Amino acid sequence: MPFEPVAPTIRVEPREIAKDTWVIHSVQQATGAPLLVHLNSMVIRCAEPIIVDTSTPANREQWLTDVFNLVDPDDVRWVFLSHDDSDHAGNLDVVMERCPKATLIASWALTERHANAFAFPLDRSRWLDHGDALDVGDRTLRAVRPPLYDSPTTRGLFDESTGVYWAVDAFACPMPGTVIESAAEFDRSFWRDGMAMFMHHALSPWVSIVDRERYAASLQQSRALGSSTIASAHSPVIPQELIDIAYDLTLEMPSIVPPPAPDQAVLDAILGAAA
């Protein structure tokens, strides 16, 4: 039976953000607000090509086309799974099937949590935890946990050769009605409020109860990488000149009061409009 997407997504062309490093985009309408949200993943066409997260089943056919236009399935050597959420692991089964030479970069915790939904091929797996390095032939990739995350299994991925950092769900921020591909296009107060909305309501509400000093030290672990570009699953790409601002905003998150989350009145309005 053909796969039926569960939610419509908006097509956005893949974009090369550094040499041989591509962000694979799709965009989804937010529920209950006139906002759009990126659902990104990444491909690095290095000596041993790697797919970084597998996007959402909502965009399966387009995503597979975009990825395999950039890299032949037989050439894919690695699949990095950042964590066990459906917008990151949504096409994992298809990718592992279509890429017979690929090894899955997971971890014990990721395997343990996600084994109810995916039959991990342990003989094709490698476990990479925070701080561990992976040699992919012409460069080293390092697993570095982002400052904010929504699963205990989350590891970001830093490419030491290009300086690109895959920050997973960190820096997530919706877009105000039209697709933008660079955070440079954000109005600064929208960026602050949008990031706060996502972090406090949808991603890491624990940020409001953290010890500030320990949070700052934890954040510094990825900030100290000195990334050249940050790609996040749910943000426009963050260019080098905005990375300090993005980290400053993230550092400020514990004390920012977010806009209110849509409540039952909003759901009633959605249902009323649809009736």
- Residue pair 122/116 in contact by the 8 Å Cβ criterion: no
State the minimum distance, in angstroms, from the CB of residue 269 to Fe ion. 26
Alpha-carbon distance 82 to 22, whole Å?
17
- The secondary structure of 20-47 as a DSSP string is TEEEEP-EEEPSSSS-EEE--EEEE-SS
Stretch that binds Fe ion, among 50-58, 73-81, 84-92, 256-264 (CB under 5 A): 84-92
Applying CB under 5 A, what is the total number of residues that bind Fe ion? 5
Look at residues 171, 167, 154 and name the one whose alpha carbon lies nearest to residue 250.
Answer: 171
User: In the chain, how many H helices and how many E strands?
Assistant: 8, 15
Alpha-carbon distance 57 to 4, whole Å?
9
Per-residue mark of binding to Fe ion, 223-252 (x: CB under 5 A): ----------x-------------------
- Residue pair 148/256 in contact by the 8 Å Cβ criterion: no
Is 53 an interacting residue with respect to Fe ion (CB under 5 A)? no
Stretch that binds Fe ion, among 19-27, 43-51, 85-93, 253-261 (CB under 5 A): 85-93
Alpha-carbon distance 235 to 173, whole Å?
5
* Packed helices 240-252 and 188-197: angle between N→C axes, nearest 10 degrees: 50
Measured from the CB atom, the residue of 21 and 54 that comes closer to Fe ion is 54
Look at residues 128, 162, 231 and name the one whose alpha carbon lies nearest to residue 19.
Answer: 162
Per-residue mark of binding to Fe ion, 168-187 (x: CB under 5 A): -x------------------
- Which residues neighbour 228 within 8 Å (Cβ) at sequence distance 6 or greater? 18, 162, 163, 164, 240
State the minimum distance, in angstroms, from the CB of residue 83 to Fe ion. 6
Stretch that binds Fe ion, among 78-86, 175-183, 223-231, 235-243 (CB under 5 A): 78-86
Q: Which of 48, 84, 87, 159 binds Fe ion (CB under 5 A)?
A: 87
State the minimum distance, in angstroms, from the CB of residue 40 to Fe ion. 9
State the minimum distance, in angstroms, from the CB of residue 157 to Fe ion. 14
Stretch that binds Fe ion, among 3-11, 97-105, 144-152, 258-266 (CB under 5 A): 144-152
Q: Which of 48, 53, 66, 85 binds Fe ion (CB under 5 A)?
A: 85
Characterise 137 by phi-psi region: left (phi > 0), alpha (psi -120 to 50), beta (else): left
State the minimum distance, in angstroms, from the CB of residue 45 to Fe ion. 23
Q: Which of 20, 84, 150, 159 binds Fe ion (CB under 5 A)?
A: 150
Binding site for Fe ion (CB under 5 A): 85, 87, 150, 169, 233
